[in-house]
Structure 1
Amino acid sequence: MPPVKVSFEFFPPKTDKMGETLWTSVGKLAPLKPTFVSVTYGAGGSTRERTHKTVERIVSETELSVAAHLTTVEATKDTVDDVLRDYWAVGVRHIVALRGDPPAGVGETYVPTPGGYANAAELTVGAKGIADFEISVGCYPEKHPESASVEADIDYLKAKVDAGATRAITQFFYDNDVYERYVERVRKAGIDIPIVPGIMPISNFKSLCRMSSLCGASLPKRLHALFDDLDDDPAQRQLVAATIAAEQCVDLQKRGIDQFHFYTLNRAELTLATCRMMGLTPAVTEAA
């Protein structure tokens, strides 16, 4: 199997205790030498300052390459452009350009901000106009819930690529056949950038069910059966979650996939275990 490349997603902490968890996780995952780590941006820009502080701290205190998430919601082009300039000034060279969720949250109707970028494709063009950022974007193996069809969704991905995106990271999924069929359709549409699978280790199954219902990502019946009655057994739940993530990633490796993006939820344990099962450990990485 080809050597594995990984990247990790974090979110800006709301409290000091959450901050301790985040920085502990960053410290544990950094020795895996990820291609980059990304920091999310809340709905409506609600975490703008915390995102920027988290990004700046990772840049200044670690050797990690940082990708800052940026959205179009509740901000004019001038405001977004100022954020982009600030990121470039502190050393950020990679942006994850997203339309973003409305301030009310996922599932609400999106309305472009007057005077703002209307979508991720426009945001990509704007970012490239500010500086020579590397641009990653999102994509959806089961289509975005607001898209009329998978074909329309892929057309929109192509617009983001035409605007300058060089990597697409998928919404989480748990059926590798769904991902593989999606990549086949994307390639037939003439899109040749990496379609990096987004891996969500399952730390809380009830929360995952809520997220999946809002974002249109299906959950196989076997997951419901595996996590049934485990609410009061965190140790067994952790073992089941680690097994599921490892099985998914090893199967993707066998299918020729060598890049993985982990939605860590600021916790390192499940991601570390999964990377180890794929043959990626700090010792191996440092010796390479």
Structure 2
Amino acid sequence: MKLHEKIAQHTAPRPFYTLEFFPPRTDQGFENLASRIARLAELNPLAISITWGAGGSTKDRSLELAGLTQMEYGVDTVLHLTCTNMEKGTVDHVLRAAKERGIETILALRGDPPRGEEDWTATDSRFSYAKDLVSYIRSTPEFASAFSIGVAAYPDGHTESASDVEAQIQHLKEKVDAGADFIVTQLFYDVDGFLQWIKEVRAAGITVPIIPGIMPIQTYSSFKRLIKLSGARVPQDLSAELDPISHDDQKVKDFGVNLTVEMIRRLNSEGNIQGFHICTLNLEKSVLRVLEGLQWTGAVQPPQNKLIADTPGAMVHPPTPKSEFVTTPTRATNSAKLGLVELPSIEEAGKGELNKAATWDDFPNGRFGDFKSPAYGDQGPWGGTQMTNEAFDQWGHPRSDSDLTSLFLAHLNSKVPRLPFYDGPVSAETSMILPHLERLNKRGWWTVGSQPTVDGAPSNDSVVGWGPSAGYVFQKGFVEFFCELRDVEDLERRVASQGGLVHLLAGNYQGEFKTNIPEGGRNAVTWGIFPGQEITQSTIIEPESFLNWKDDAYSIWTEWASFYRPGSEERKYLESVRDNRWLVSIVHHDYKDLEALWNFLFDEAQ
């Protein structure tokens, strides 16, 4: 059934809600997400929403997942669809595929803007903005009456024109006038600002349903990243409560649940909002706790409106290691032997106790998380990218290896605030190994990830500490970099002489892959020991996650090159780097010797 028709018919005593999911990066994650959605579907959301990757990058996965929820689980499904850099034939194919799967609702989005001034990129000029996609669907007889169409709104302003609220509301009205039936907003945390914004939207003559997008805070690092991506305002009192507990993931998650409950209650009571769009990040526990807190599932005890105290003996979830580069926040917590480990098997999602299936990947999983998690490789809001023209201006015009070496060194020394591979300055932890990283980059091995060795530092250490007090944290040194094939072959030979003390992962753009990690092996490279608790392991480096990250890394080279015109020296050079350089990850297992990794890398006599 079309979503706007379901909204009009909604008569339940409580507000309705929809749940948003993204297609996981791995087959195992996809299978586990399917079971997770099946469980959450039993709570009767009005619809389930499936996101669309930038430029159609998740087209097949998005269609597969949306078809599964619509046809097999019988839940009305909203398929997100972006139009930028997509041709008419692709749009037609997706809309037909959606119809074949019984999907009757589309969320029409613009998607990522063209790269730089890419007027030379082969795109269909009919699809530059979301309103163009709405107009196309409504004006095409094959699709005109087949779909309910939703569009996006930005209560805190779009990142490209956040200050011009009046113009943005006018753009929203143009989308509605083109034929949109409802509006879903970007995430926000300023309830007062949202209530004022919605008054202005209604005053502009926009009458279609508006569904606020709500994203429970899962971890402090993911919250900060998403705020930066979306441009959402953070009220001062929220920051004042959240910042002091930023080091404790469980307290942050508890805070996020309670905040979400409070926001929904206020929006319902003060703004008479009757529907909510919950962005899940493919995680289950927070959604359940929010719905229970609202008493929308028959639960008897809602969360208290305060931080939930630590449960004695509960597992502690540390923050993402403060390394030079982490693509996305990670939380994969398992008890395991240290070193190269085979993690305890995870019961198939959907079987066994519900709470166990809901919480085994309780925190967002980035590239250092468990690749079997549905949340592995979580995306930004609606598939957004972090590469912008402003950043491009800082990277100049690289045309040689020496140009890139200078750029990477400038970033290490805080002369360049960000790189295509890392959205921000280097962390405080990086200063512990800065001379080593500089030496690698001067060699022409451009580093994109690293972690110093730590042997039992106090958990309250200001640089490497995490978790509760009176604990100790450990790290194995690792580093990731781009280098040439001859370097990889030399490293392979030297690694083989270490008797398993050093592990290597290496891959290239063409899909070649090298490793000495045994099949099924995983490297636990960060862990903590706390009183009365099991060993807590937070960071995993394994072949499956490395291969997924490798694909991302080479797509970044492609995207970076696309800022420059075809045939330009910069584009040809960056594409040659992509085609010829290898991505390498090196882990040294001797965490008792703080210099072991670097002694290995710089020992030319080996």
TM beyond 0.5: yes
**Aligned mates of 2:214, 2:118 — CA distance in 1:** 26
Which of residues 163, 173, 176 is equivalent to 1:158? Answer: 173
Query: Who is 1:198 aligned against?
Result: 213
Q: Is 1:208 equivalent to 2:223 in the alignment?
A: yes
Q: Is 1:269 equivalent to 2:285 in the alignment?
A: yes
Q: Deviations over 1:161-185 (max 9, x none)?
A: 1111111011111111111111100
Change (3 A) 1:282 1:63: farther
Structure 2 SS opposite 1:79: helix
Higher relative contact order (CA 8 A, sep 6+): 1
Deviation at 1:120, TM superposition (A): 0.8
* Superposition map of 1:94-133 within 5 A: 94-102=105-113, 113-128=123-138, 129=140, 130-131=142-143, 132=145, 133=147
**Aligned mates of 1:79, 1:171 — CA distance in 2:** 26
Structure 2 SS opposite 1:197: strand
**Aligned mates of 2:31, 2:241 — CA distance in 1:** 31
One-letter code aligned to 1:96: L
* Superposition map of 1:245-284 within 5 A: 245-255=260-270, 256-281=272-297
Indicate if the aligned counterparts of 1:37 and 1:64 stay in contact, CA closer than 8 A. yes
Q: Is 1:240 equivalent to 2:251 in the alignment?
A: no
Which of residues 218, 225, 228 is equivalent to 2:243? Answer: 228
Change (3 A) 1:21 1:227: farther
Q: Deviations over 1:155-211 (max 9, x none)?
A: 111111111111101111111111111110011100001111100001122222122
**Aligned mates of 2:114, 2:298 — CA distance in 1:** 39
Indicate if the aligned counterparts of 2:21 and 2:281 stay in contact, CA closer than 8 A. yes
Q: Deviations over 1:52-85 (max 9, x none)?
A: 1111111222010001000012211221112111
Change (3 A) 1:99 1:248: same
One-letter code aligned to 2:131: A
Structure 2 SS opposite 1:32: coil
Query: Who is 2:77 aligned against?
Result: 66
**Aligned mates of 1:99, 1:282 — CA distance in 2:** 39
Query: Who is 1:12 aligned against?
Result: 23
**Aligned mates of 1:145, 1:267 — CA distance in 2:** 26
**Aligned mates of 1:102, 1:95 — CA distance in 2:** 20
Query: Who is 1:145 aligned against?
Result: 159
Q: Is 1:167 equivalent to 2:182 in the alignment?
A: yes
Indicate if the aligned counterparts of 2:291 and 2:297 stay in contact, CA closer than 8 A. yes
Change (3 A) 1:18 1:110: farther
One-letter code aligned to 2:285: E
**Aligned mates of 1:110, 1:166 — CA distance in 2:** 32
Deviation at 1:283, TM superposition (A): 8.4
Indicate if the aligned counterparts of 1:43 and 1:103 stay in contact, CA closer than 8 A. no
**Aligned mates of 2:179, 2:118 — CA distance in 1:** 23
Structure 1 portions without partners, runs of 5+? none
Q: Is 1:50 equivalent to 2:61 in the alignment?
A: yes
Deviation at 1:94, TM superposition (A): 0.4
Q: Deviations over 1:232-260 (max 9, x none)?
A: 53332221111111111111121211100
**Aligned mates of 1:8, 1:56 — CA distance in 2:** 16
Indicate if the aligned counterparts of 2:47 and 2:76 stay in contact, CA closer than 8 A. yes
One-letter code aligned to 2:156: E
Change (3 A) 1:109 1:278: farther
Change (3 A) 1:150 1:274: same
Indicate if the aligned counterparts of 1:67 and 1:95 stay in contact, CA closer than 8 A. yes
**Aligned mates of 1:110, 1:175 — CA distance in 2:** 35
Larger Rg: 2
Deviation at 1:265, TM superposition (A): 0.6
The structure carrying a bigger helix percent of its residues is: 1
Q: Is 1:77 equivalent to 2:93 in the alignment?
A: no
Change (3 A) 1:218 1:109: farther
Deviation at 1:49, TM superposition (A): 1.0
- % identity of equivalent residues: 38
Query: Who is 2:601 aligned against?
Result: none
Change (3 A) 1:236 1:110: farther
**Aligned mates of 1:159, 1:47 — CA distance in 2:** 28
**Aligned mates of 2:42, 2:22 — CA distance in 1:** 19
**Aligned mates of 1:269, 1:168 — CA distance in 2:** 27
**Aligned mates of 1:215, 1:109 — CA distance in 2:** 22
Deviation at 1:4, TM superposition (A): 1.1
Indicate if the aligned counterparts of 1:72 and 1:116 stay in contact, CA closer than 8 A. no
Deviation at 1:24, TM superposition (A): 3.7
**Aligned mates of 1:109, 1:195 — CA distance in 2:** 33
**Aligned mates of 1:209, 1:109 — CA distance in 2:** 29
Q: How many residue pairs align between the two structures?
A: 281
One-letter code aligned to 1:206: S
Q: TM-score when scaled to structure 1?
A: 0.90
Which of residues 93, 96, 102 is equivalent to 2:104? Answer: 93
Change (3 A) 1:211 1:217: same
Change (3 A) 1:109 1:239: farther
Structure 2 SS opposite 1:95: strand
Query: Who is 2:504 aligned against?
Result: none
Structure 2 portions without partners, runs of 5+? 1-11, 301-606
Return 196-205 or 222-231, whichever deviates more: 222-231
Q: Deviations over 1:125-173 (max 9, x none)?
A: 2223232200011001112122361111111111111111111011111
Indicate if the aligned counterparts of 2:155 and 2:186 stay in contact, CA closer than 8 A. yes
**Aligned mates of 1:119, 1:177 — CA distance in 2:** 29
Change (3 A) 1:227 1:206: same
